[in-house]
Structure 1
Amino acid sequence: MASQKPDLQTTKKIFSQWNREKLVNYAASLSKAMGAERAKHKALTSQIESAKDWLQGLTLVEEIGQHLSSTLNLDEVLALLLKRVTEALNAEDGSILLTEEISGDLIFQISLGAISEEIKPFRIPKGEGIAGEVALTGVPIRVDNAQKDKRHFKQIDIDTGFLTQTILCVPLLTRQRVIGVIEVFNKRSGPFTDEDQVILSSIANFAAIAIENARLHQRVLAERDRVVLAQEETSRKLQRDLHDGPTQLVAAIQMNLDFAKQALKKDPSLVEKELDEIIGLAQKATHQMRTLLFELRPLVLETQGLAAALTTFLKRRQKDERTALHLTVNSDRPDNAIPRLISKSEMAIFAIVQEAVNNALKHAMAYNIYVSLDLKKDRLSVTILDDGQGFDLNAVSNNYEDRGSYGMINIKERAAVAGGNLAIKSAPGAGAEIQVNILLTPGLLVAERDEA
C-alpha cells in the first residue's frame, strides 16, 4: 500500500516545534557566549585601566625621584616630597617625621595644608601611635576610620581643628633601616587603596635616599664649619701666645740691646750684666717658641706615643709655670707600657690633655695639676685633675658660645674622635676633673689593626 504523505498542517507543526527548540538552544548558547565575552571585555578593560594607573604611578615615582635628586637642601627635599605626594594621592594633608638616631623617637619635620601653620614641632616616642608603630616595625599602616583607631593621637586634631578621617603611613627605609615615616591624611575620593600604598611606598624608597643624601650634605657642611672654627680658634690662640710670650720677650731683648749700646759708650762695666740678661731673655723666647711648635705638631707623639709626648709637654710647660704639673702612668702590660693607638686617636687624646692643662693654668689658680694614663685590660682612662677654684659646669656649658671660646666644645669633639666617653666634674671651690674612657678595640690599636 502506498505511504500517505503528511499534510501541510502536520509538517508546519513538526517544523515549528523543532525550530523553536533549536532557536531557544541557540539563543541560550549565544547569550552565554556574549556574557562570557562581556566579562572578558570588562576584565580586559579593568586590566588596561589598572595598567594605566600603574604607568601613571611609575611615572609619578620617577618624576618625584628626579626632583628629589635635584637638591641637597633637607628642608627643600621634605617640602617638595610632601607637596607632590599629597597632590598625587589626592590627600588633604600630610606630614613627615624623621627618626632621632639616639632615642629612636620620631621628630616632626614638616606638614602641609590646613594644619601646617597650626602644628608645632613635637616628638613621638618610639613605637607609640600609628607613625611610631610604622617606624618600629617598618610595615605600612592604612586606617579607614582614624577616629575609631586607638593609635591615632586625637589631641592633634583638637589642637589644630583638623579632623583626621583616613590615614596612610609608610616607612622611609634605607639600607634596611627606618629613618622616618611619611603620612597622608583624608583622601578626597574615598579611602586609601592598595595601589596608593604601593605608590607611596615606592616614592618613600626614593625619598629615603634623598633625605640621607641631604643629611650627609648637612653633616659635611657642619664639619666644614667646625673645621673653619677650629682653625680660627687655633689661629687666635697662636696669636695670643705669640703676643703674650715670644713677642714680649723679643721686645725686651731689643730694649736691653739699646740700653747695652748706650752703656757701652757711657759705662762699659754695665754691658756684661746687660748681655747676661739678654741671653736669658733669648733662651726663654727660644724655649717658648719651641714649646709652641711642639704643641702645634708634637713629633714625639708620632714616634714614641702618648706617654712620651705628655711627659715632654708637661716638662716644657712646667718651666714657665709655678703650678706643679704631675704625670702618672699605670698599665697592666709589661714595662708599664701604653699601647700605640691609631694616629687620630692619639692626636685627639693629646689635644684633650693640652687643652685641659692650658685652661687650668690660665683659669683654675691651682697649686697642682695631675695628668694620669691608666690602662686595665682593654680600657684606657685619661684623667686631668686640678685643685683649683673649679667652676659651675652647667653655667659654663650653657654660655660657651657667648664667651667666644670653644675649649669645652673642642674637648667633647676630640673625645668622640678618640673613640671615648667624656666625663667632667667640677664645682666652685672644688677643683675640676676631666676624664676620657676609651675601650681599646682592635680598630684603635695600631699593631692589632696592622696584623688584621
Structure 2
Amino acid sequence: MRRLETLLLADRIVVAVRWLGLISLAALAFAGDEVSTVLQTLFFLGGVGNFILTGLTLFRRRLPSHEYVSIAADVILASLLFRVSGTINGSLIWAGLLPVVTGAVYYAAQGGLLGAMLSLIGMSVMAFFDTSVSETLRAFILPSIVFLGGGLVLGFLSRNASNELKQRLLSEVGIGAQSRRLARNRIQAVYDITAKLNSTLNYSRVLDLALDVSNQALAQPGRGTPLVSAFYLYNGGMLEVGSARRYTPSDMRVTLRGKRGLLASAINAGTPRFMKNPSADPEFRRIVALSNCKSVYCYPLKSGLDVYGVLIFGSEDENYFVEENREILNIVGRNAQVSLQNARLYQELEEEKQRIIQIQEETQQKLARDLHDGPTQSVAAIAMRVNFARRLMERDINATGEELFKIEDLARRTTKEIRHMLFTLRPLVLESSGLVPALESMAEKMDETYEQKVSVEADPGIDQQLESRKQAVAFYLVEEATNNARKHAEAEHIWIRIKPAGEDLVLLEIEDDGEGFDLSAVEATYDDRGSLGLLNMRERAELISSVLQIDSRPKRGTRVRVWIPLTEAAIERIKNA
C-alpha cells in the first residue's frame, strides 16, 4: 500500500511536468517561424497521451510497466518533435529533457541518466537524416552536458525527495499504528470499566473502583501524573467525600455546598462541565489537592431527575480534558451511576431482609408472650381446678358440679383464645375472600373471645385494589393496633375504616376510645422496652412503601392511619411528601 501511494505520487509529478514541458515547447515553437501541420499534430497527440495518463492518475490506475511506457513515450515524442522542427539548433532540441525528468522521477539518478542517453540517441538518429556526423556531434555537445548533468541532479533530488516521503509515510504509519493501539487500549479500558464496576455490589468498592479505572483508562506511558479525583455524595444537604485519589487528609474533611461555581453549574444542568484555572473557583479553591491543577472536570451523578453526588477530576495539564478524554470519563460516570444504584438497591434489599427476619423474630416472641399470658395460664388454671374438683368430690358432690361447670367455661374461653390466635397467625379468609371479609371475621372473633366491640367500615370493592401482599400487611397492622387498644388502652370501642384517599392512595384507619398515651414518651424509651410493637408497625408499613402515622394523647384515645400507595407514581408522591 505504501509503495503504491509513492508510485501514484510519482505519476502525478510526471504528468504535471509533462504538461508544463508541452506547453512551454509549444509556446517556443509558435513564437518562431510558421508551425507545420505535422508539428501541430505531434503536440496534439502528446497532449492526448498525457491527458489519458492524467486520467489514470486521478482514478488511481496504472498501465502495465507504467514507468517504462512513460519513458519510452517521452523519448519518441522528443525525437519526433526534434525531427519535425527541421533545424538542429532549434528550441525543440530541449524536448529531450522530458524523458530525463521522467526517468529521474521514477528511478532517481540511474533513471535520469538512462532518460538522457535514450533522448540523445533518439535525437541523434533523427539528426543523421539531414546533417553530417561531425555537425551533429558539435550540435549535441551542450545538450549532452545539460541532459546528463540534469539527469544526475534531478535523480539525486528525486531520491532525496523519495527518501523523505518514505520517512514521512513511515512516520505517519507509526503514528497511525500508535493511535490505533491507543484506541484499542481505550476500548479495552472501557470494557474493563464496565466489567469491574459491575463485578461488585459493595457501595464503597464501587467508589474506589470508579476512581481507579479512570486513571487506568486515561494512563499514557511517560505523560503526566495521575489525575486528582474524588467522589462527593450528598449527606444532609452537603457534599462529602466518599472516596478520593491524591487528596490530602485535610481535603478529605472538606464539605462543599455545590451552590456556586462549576459545581453549581454541573448540578443545576445535570450535565458534565469542565473549566480551566480551578483555583479561581469559589468552592474548588478550598481543596489543596486542586491547587496545582490547571483544569477540572465535574460529572454529576443522577438518579432520575435528582443529583445525589458528583465525580471530580483534576489535571495539571491545561488542555487535558479534550473530547476523547471527556468521553472516557463520561463512560466511567455512567457506569458508576448504574453500579451505585445497583449497590444501593442491594443494600436496601439486605436491610429489608434483615427487617423481615427481625419481624419474624418479633412475631415469634409475640406469639410466645401471647401463649404465655393467655392459653398457657388458662391451661394451668384448668389443671389446678381439676385437681381441686377431684379433692372436693370426696367432701361435697354438689360443690364439685359447680366447679366442673367453671372448668368447662374456662376451657371454652381458652379454646376461643387459641382459635383467635390461630386465625390471626394465618387468616385463611384473607387468602380466599380478601381484606374486608378478613377484618369482619376478626371483629366477630374479637367480640366472641374478648367481648371487644370492633366496627369495620369499608368502601365497596376497596380491598380489591390492593395486591395480596399489601392486604396481608394491612391485616397485620389492624390486628396489632386492635390488640394494643384491647390490652393496653382498655378501649370500649374500636373502629376500622378503609377508604380512598386521593389519587392512587388508600387510607387505612384504626381508631379507639381508650386511655391513649404519650407517643413521644413511649418512643423515647424504646431501648428499655421489651416490646417494639409500634416500631414493627412502622417497619411493616415501609415494606409496602406506605406511611404510618399515630396520633394519641392521654385520656383522648388513639388513631392509627396508614396511607397505602397503589402505583409507582403514588409511591414517589408519598416519598416526596
> Is TM more than 0.5 here?
yes
Once the two structures are superposed, the pairs formed by residues 288-367 of structure 1 within 5 Å of their partners are 288-319=417-448, 325-331=453-459, 336-340=460-464, 341-367=466-492
SS at match of 2:561: strand
**Higher alpha-carbon deviation: 220-229 or 373-382:** 373-382
C-alpha contact (below 8 Å) 2:300/2:309 kept by paired residues: yes
What is the aligned counterpart of 1:369 among 480, 484, 494?
A: 494
C-alpha contact (below 8 Å) 2:241/2:252 kept by paired residues: no
Change (3 A) 1:365 1:161: farther
Change (3 A) 1:287 1:82: same
Q: Percent identity?
A: 31
1:91 and 2:223 aligned:
no
- Measured against aligned partners, the alpha-carbon deviations of 1:240-278 in whole angstroms (never above 9, x if no partner) come to 000000000000000000101111122222211110110
SS at match of 1:47: helix
What is the aligned counterpart of 1:234 among 363, 376, 384?
A: 363
Match of 1:110 in 2: 243
Match of 1:197 in 2: 326
Match of 1:385 in 2: 511
Once the two structures are superposed, the pairs formed by residues 29-178 of structure 1 within 5 Å of their partners are 36-86=165-215, 89=218, 90-97=225-232, 108-115=241-248, 118-120=251-253, 130=262, 134=266, 139-148=271-280, 150=281, 153-154=283-284, 156-157=286-287, 165-170=294-299
C-alpha contact (below 8 Å) 2:355/2:539 kept by paired residues: no
SS at match of 1:292: helix
- Measured against aligned partners, the alpha-carbon deviations of 1:195-247 in whole angstroms (never above 9, x if no partner) come to 33233333445444443443333223222211110111001100000000000
Change (3 A) 1:399 1:215: farther
- Measured against aligned partners, the alpha-carbon deviations of 1:284-312 in whole angstroms (never above 9, x if no partner) come to 11111111111111122223322222222
Match of 1:447 in 2: none
* In 1: Cα distance, 2:339 partner to 2:290 partner: 32
Higher relative contact order (CA 8 A, sep 6+): 1
Change (3 A) 1:4 1:293: closer
Superposition deviation, residue 404 in structure 1: 5.2
* In 2: Cα distance, 1:419 partner to 1:274 partner: 53
What amino acid does structure 2 have at the position aligned with 1:435?
Answer: R
Match of 1:448 in 2: none
What amino acid does structure 2 have at the position aligned with 1:112?
Answer: R
Aligned residues: 433
Higher strand share: 1
SS at match of 1:266: coil
C-alpha contact (below 8 Å) 2:295/2:318 kept by paired residues: no
What is the aligned counterpart of 2:353 among 213, 216, 224?
A: 224
What amino acid does structure 1 have at the position aligned with 2:283?
Answer: F
Change (3 A) 1:413 1:279: same
What amino acid does structure 1 have at the position aligned with 2:540?
Answer: R
Match of 2:387 in 1: 258
TM-score (norm 1): 0.77
**Higher alpha-carbon deviation: 90-99 or 273-282:** 90-99
Match of 1:437 in 2: 563
C-alpha contact (below 8 Å) 2:420/2:449 kept by paired residues: no
**Higher alpha-carbon deviation: 24-33 or 342-351:** 24-33
SS at match of 1:51: helix
C-alpha contact (below 8 Å) 1:384/1:433 kept by paired residues: yes
* In 2: Cα distance, 1:434 partner to 1:423 partner: 6
* In 2: Cα distance, 1:172 partner to 1:375 partner: 37
| Structure 1: runs of 5+ lacking an equivalent | 445-452
What amino acid does structure 2 have at the position aligned with 1:94?
Answer: S
| Structure 2: runs of 5+ lacking an equivalent | 1-130, 219-224, 571-577
Higher helix share: 2
What amino acid does structure 2 have at the position aligned with 1:343?
Answer: S
What amino acid does structure 2 have at the position aligned with 1:347?
Answer: A
* In 2: Cα distance, 1:31 partner to 1:205 partner: 53
Change (3 A) 1:407 1:129: farther
What amino acid does structure 1 have at the position aligned with 2:397?
Answer: P
What amino acid does structure 2 have at the position aligned with 1:264?
Answer: M
Superposition deviation, residue 342 in structure 1: 2.1
* In 2: Cα distance, 1:63 partner to 1:435 partner: 50
Superposition deviation, residue 146 in structure 1: 1.5
C-alpha contact (below 8 Å) 1:110/1:116 kept by paired residues: no
Superposition deviation, residue 171 in structure 1: 5.4
Match of 1:422 in 2: 548
Superposition deviation, residue 369 in structure 1: 3.0
C-alpha contact (below 8 Å) 1:173/1:204 kept by paired residues: no
Change (3 A) 1:443 1:25: closer
C-alpha contact (below 8 Å) 1:109/1:121 kept by paired residues: no
C-alpha contact (below 8 Å) 1:157/1:164 kept by paired residues: no
* In 2: Cα distance, 1:434 partner to 1:207 partner: 42
* In 1: Cα distance, 2:290 partner to 2:278 partner: 15
Change (3 A) 1:8 1:440: closer
* In 2: Cα distance, 1:114 partner to 1:261 partner: 85
Match of 2:38 in 1: none
Change (3 A) 1:204 1:364: same
Superposition deviation, residue 167 in structure 1: 1.8
**Higher alpha-carbon deviation: 383-392 or 218-227:** 383-392
What amino acid does structure 2 have at the position aligned with 1:287?
Answer: K
SS at match of 2:421: helix
* In 2: Cα distance, 1:414 partner to 1:365 partner: 24
Superposition deviation, residue 280 in structure 1: 1.2
Match of 1:449 in 2: none
Larger radius of gyration: 2
What is the aligned counterpart of 1:185 among 314, 319, 335?
A: 314
**Higher alpha-carbon deviation: 87-96 or 14-23:** 14-23
* In 2: Cα distance, 1:121 partner to 1:296 partner: 53
C-alpha contact (below 8 Å) 1:93/1:184 kept by paired residues: yes
C-alpha contact (below 8 Å) 1:424/1:434 kept by paired residues: yes
- Measured against aligned partners, the alpha-carbon deviations of 1:74-106 in whole angstroms (never above 9, x if no partner) come to 222322332343465443532224579xx9997
SS at match of 1:109: strand
C-alpha contact (below 8 Å) 1:345/1:419 kept by paired residues: no
* In 1: Cα distance, 2:569 partner to 2:272 partner: 39
1:267 and 2:393 aligned:
no
* In 2: Cα distance, 1:384 partner to 1:326 partner: 10
